[in-house]
Amino acid sequence: MNILDIIAKKRDKKELTKEEIEYFITNYTKGEISDYQAAALIMAIYINGMNEEETKNLTLAMAYSGKTLDLSDISETIIDKHSSGGIGDKVTLILMPLVASFGIPVAKMSGRGLGITGGTIDKLESIPGYRTDLSLDEFKKNIKEIGISLIGQTENLAPADKKIYALRDTISCTESIPLIASSIMSKKIAAGANKLVLEVTCGSGAFMKTKEEAEKLSKVMSKIGELAEIETVCVITNMEQPIGKNIGNALEVKEALEALNGKMEKDVEEIVLTLGAQIMKLAGISSDVNKNKEMILENLKNGKAYDKFIELVKKQYGDVEYLKHIENAKYIIPVKTSKGGYIEKLNAESIGRAALSLGARQNKKRR
């Protein structure tokens, strides 16, 4: 078997076998296939797609490209959440400490920004000292001790995703159902959670531009979840406009802190309550989603969710003092309108591009 034949096969719109997919993933992870050959294959997948069987095989090969975590000694229920990407999406920063504040164990491996979308890891790294690169032992220890850990992709867990994710970002191969589904689900399988809520974003600031595409991505990921015995719920969310009122790593951390202090923008609140209520249902707190929403609002009001966030930051070596005075950007240019009126709509995609050009990103070199 060799990579040239595999690239040619996908270029010519043919189906790849399980063995060919595994050959690519194993050898690319080991560094025995070059970035330019991997880029050619990823582009061929992007253009010609993958069927269900290929997508499943790609996901499993990526999930088992490194270690997988067994968290069953911590709890019967380990929760994870993932977003398919958006602009101003700080939901993870608010929702995961909130969930952990109910004693539901949270084990989350997040990504960096991809394409025009922001990444939770870039956001967390705007907190001085916060370590997203914990060892697997530290990750597990934190979940045991404080009920939550939020880390980035590691060299050990789904390392193939770490490499392919960074590569896709540099070659304009982000909006692809097989590539997104395998990227998200490989991380989830490797990280050991058994209950999963997926925020499938849809609109100009998301990879899935239409509801039909978002439904298709949801179906593919749910099917992989079923296969991996991860109870999966997908919620399609609107990404026509940025979420909340800030876009940019530190600013989004600041907004998340305000939200955890009970001052949350309405659109953010709707997503947090919807996803949170589903997570609590999966965790067996209550099957009544309205009751779950009330409980969530209570833990936002009584400060338990905020305290959990601070505990998490401390535990992962972040500077909690900094959180008290996150400053606005050094240069602020007010844009004034010459006419009176209301802003009816903000284009999420244009704002994402603007944030990207200002450097809201720490990935592999893009040019």
Residues in touch with ligand URA (CB under 6 A): 84-85, 111, 114, 179-180, 183-184
User: What's the min distance (Å) between Cβ of 182 and ligand URA?
Assistant: 8
d(CA 301, CA 264): 11
d(CA 101, CA 296): 9
User: What's the min distance (Å) between Cβ of 340 and ligand URA?
Assistant: 40
Closest CA to 81 of 56, 105, 114: 105
Closest CA to 73 of 194, 235, 204: 194
Residues 193 and 80 sit within 8 Å (Cβ to Cβ) = yes
User: What's the min distance (Å) between Cβ of 295 and ligand URA?
Assistant: 28
Residues 284 and 77 sit within 8 Å (Cβ to Cβ) = yes
E strands in the chain? 79-83, 106-110, 148-152, 195-202, 231-238
d(CA 32, CA 40): 15
Closest CA to 81 of 248, 232, 247, 239: 232
Q: Which residue is nearest to ligand URA (CB)?
A: 183
d(CA 250, CA 123): 6
Q: Closer to ligand URA by CB, 40 or 200: give it.
A: 200
Q: Closer to ligand URA by CB, 201 or 292: give it.
A: 201
Q: Closer to ligand URA by CB, 220 or 305: give it.
A: 220
At 270, phi and psi to the nearest 5? -60, -40
Q: Closer to ligand URA by CB, 184 or 300: give it.
A: 184
- How big is the chain by its Cα radius of gyration, in Å? 20
Strands, sheet with 106-110, edge to edge from the N-terminal-most edge strand = 148-152, 106-110, 79-83, 195-202, 231-238
Q: Any idea which residues carry the catalytic annotation?
A: 82, 161, 168, 183, 187
Q: Closer to ligand URA by CB, 99 or 191: give it.
A: 191
Exposure b/e, 346-360, CB count within 10 A at least 16 = b? eebbebbeebbeeeb
Q: Closer to ligand URA by CB, 85 or 97: give it.
A: 85
d(CA 160, CA 27): 10
State which amino acid sits at residue 207.
F
Q: Closer to ligand URA by CB, 199 or 311: give it.
A: 199
Which position has the token pair 């947090």?
272
DSSP H helices, 235-303, are 249-260, 266-282, 289-301
